[in-house]
Copies of this chain bind each other. A is one copy, B any other.
């Protein structure tokens, strides 16, 4: 069965802003992700992490990015005719993410323009901010994504 999107390139508006998500990260989740993908001591060893300049266990930045992506897919990309992303700029880890933190995502559409070389798609540039329960920006990034056009 092919994917049946409802939101195409033409439906995405420059300046559009949304906030969504709300995922509380546990110590077990932090340890499981990091043991698999980022086994630095301050991500996998709560005791040793106390001696680090973070003062305790923190989530891998790639974990924060992956959890943010899940919220972005669930609340935005899943309904769209997304064709994937060529990349991300200015990915910043600003505040450590610790066990018990609750993360949400704010998205702003910075630019939406038809592709010059490929008439079947448009390029959308978005700014994402991942926010914790104290409303601190823990991570920011600027992402590009291709979306199918409804009427190429």
Contacts and interface: CB of A to CB of B under 8 A. Distances in A.
Copies in the complex: 2
22 contacts: A2-B48, A3-B41, A3-B45, A3-B51, A36-B70, A37-B67, A38-B66, A38-B69, A39-B70, A39-B74, A39-B78, A40-B73, A40-B84, A42-B84, A53-B83, A54-B84, A60-B69, A61-B87, A66-B66, A85-B93, A87-B90, A88-B88
Interface of A: 1-3, 36-42, 45, 47-48, 51-54, 58, 60-62, 65-67, 69-70, 73-74, 77-78, 82-94
A74 to B, nearest CB: 8
Nearest to A51: B2
